[in-house]
Amino acid sequence: MKKLLSIITICTLGLPLTGQDLPAGGPPPAGQPQMQQTPPVIIPLETKNTSLVFRVSNRDGRLYQAWFGPRLINTGDLANSRDAGHPAYATFGTDNLFEPAVRATHNDGNPSLELKYVSHEVENIRPDVTLTRIFLKDPEYPFVVSLFFKTFANEDVIEQWIEIRHDEKKPVTIFNYASSMLHFDAEKYWLTQFHGDWAEEMNLRESELTAGIKILDTKLGTRAHMYQTPVFMLSLNERSDENEGQVIAGTLGWSGNFRFLFEVDEKGSLRVISGINPFASEYSLLPGKVFRTPSMIFTFSDKGKGLASRNLHSWAVKYGVLDGTGPRLTLLNNWEATGFNFDEKKLSAILDDTKKLGLDVFLLDDGWFANKYPRNNDRAGLGDWQENRAKLPNGLGYLVREADAKGVKFGIWIEPEMVNPKSELYETHPDWVLKLPNRPEHYFRNQLVLDLTNPKVQEFVYNVVDGMLTSNQGIAFIKWDCNRMMTNAYSVYLKDKQSHLYIDYVNSLYGVLERLRQKYPHLPVMLCSGGGGRVDYGALKYFTEFWASDNTDALERVYIQWGYSFFFPAVSVCNHVTSWGKQSLKFRTDVAMMGKMGYDIEVDKMTENELKFSQDAIANYSRIKDIIYSGELYRLISPYEENRAVLMYVNQAKSRAVLLGFILNARYGETLNPVKLQGLDPAKTYKVQEINVSNEGRRGPGMGFGAPGGIRTYSGDYLMKTGLNVGSASPLTSVVYEITE
- Interacting residues with ligand GLA (CB under 6 A): 335, 365-366, 378, 413, 481, 483, 528, 530-531, 547, 550
- Give me the least distance between CB of 29 and ligand GLA, in Å please: 52
CB atoms within 10 A of CB 524: 23
Would you call 622 helix, strand, or coil by DSSP? helix
Q: Which of 411, 430, 558, 420 is nearest to 490 (CA)?
A: 430
Closest to ligand GLA by CB, 334 vs 630, is 334
C-alpha to C-alpha distance for 143 and 114, rounded to whole angstroms = 9
Pick between residue 413 and residue 542 the one whose CB is nearest to ligand GLA: 413
**What dihedral do alpha carbons 321, 326, 329, 333 form, nearest 10°?**
0
Kindly tell me which of 27 and 530 has the beta carbon lying closer to ligand GLA.
530
Burial class, 340, CB count within 10 angstroms (exposed 0-12 / middle 13-18 / buried 19+): middle
φ/ψ of residue 245, rounded to 5: 110, 155
Number of H helices, E strands in the chain: 11, 38
Residue 244 or 378 having the CB closest to ligand GLA: 378
Instruction: Name the residue nearer to ligand GLA (CB basis): 158 or 224.
Output: 224
Strand order across the beta sheet in which 172-177 lies = 102-105, 172-177, 283-285
Residue 533 CB, shortest distance to ligand GLA, in Å, is: 8
The smaller minimum CB distance to ligand GLA, of residues 331 and 618, is found at 331
151 vs 338, beta carbon nearer ligand GLA: 338
Q: Least CB distance from residue 413 to ligand GLA, whole Å?
A: 5
Of the pair 85, 531, the CB lying nearest ligand GLA is at 531
Give Cα separations from 353 to 362, 603, 657 (angstroms).
9, 6, 30
- In whole angstroms, how close is the CB of 530 to ligand GLA at the nearest point? 4
Burial of 95 (0-12, 13-18, 19+ CB in 10 A): exposed
Nearest distance, CB of residue 333 and ligand GLA, angstroms: 8
Q: How far apart are CA 412 and CA 691, in angstroms?
A: 32
295 within 8 A of 375, measured Cβ to Cβ: no
Rounded to a whole number of angstroms, the minimum distance from the CB of residue 227 to ligand GLA is: 16
Burial class (CB in 10 A: 0-12, 13-18, 19+), 462: middle
Q: Say how many residues make up the chain.
A: 741
Do residues 578 and 336 lie in contact, with contact meaning Cβ atoms separated by under 8 Å?
yes
Give the nearest distance from C-beta 589 to ligand GLA in angstroms: 19
Nearest distance from residue 338's CB to ligand GLA, in Å?
Answer: 11
Q: Cβ neighbours of residue 674 under 8 Å, at least 6 residues apart? A: 722, 723, 724, 725, 726
* Residue number with CB closer to ligand GLA (158 or 382): 382
Q: Which of residues 314 and 330 has its CB atom nearest to ligand GLA in the complex?
A: 330
Nearest of 336, 405, 393, 402 to residue 368 by alpha carbon: 393
- By beta-carbon proximity to ligand GLA, the closer residue of 216 and 573 is 573
Q: Which residue has the CB atom at the shortest distance from ligand GLA? A: 366
Least separation in angstroms between CB 532 and ligand GLA: 9
Q: Which is nearer to ligand GLA, 363 or 646 (CB)?
A: 363
Distance of closest approach, residue 545 Cβ to ligand GLA, in angstroms: 13
Output the smallest distance, CB 552 to ligand GLA, in A: 9
236: left (phi over 0), alpha (psi -120 to 50) or beta: beta
Helices (H), 482-637: 501-519, 554-564, 585-592, 608-630
Q: Phi and psi (nearest 5°) for 619? A: -65, -40
Inter-helix orientation angle 344-357/395-406, to 10°: 30
- CB of residue 529 to ligand GLA, shortest distance in Å: 7
What's the closest the beta carbon of residue 321 comes to ligand GLA, in angstroms? 19
- The residue (of 140 and 378) whose beta carbon lies closer to ligand GLA is 378
When the beta carbons of 86 and 576 are compared against ligand GLA, the nearer one is: 576
- For the CB of residue 458, give the shortest distance to ligand GLA in the complex, in Å: 23
Phi then psi dihedrals of residue 165, to 5 deg:
-155, 145
208: Cβ contacts below 8 Å, ≥ 6 apart:
188, 189, 190, 191
Convert 674-693 to b/e letters by CB count within 10 Å (16 or more is b).
Answer: ebbbbbbbeebebebbbbbb
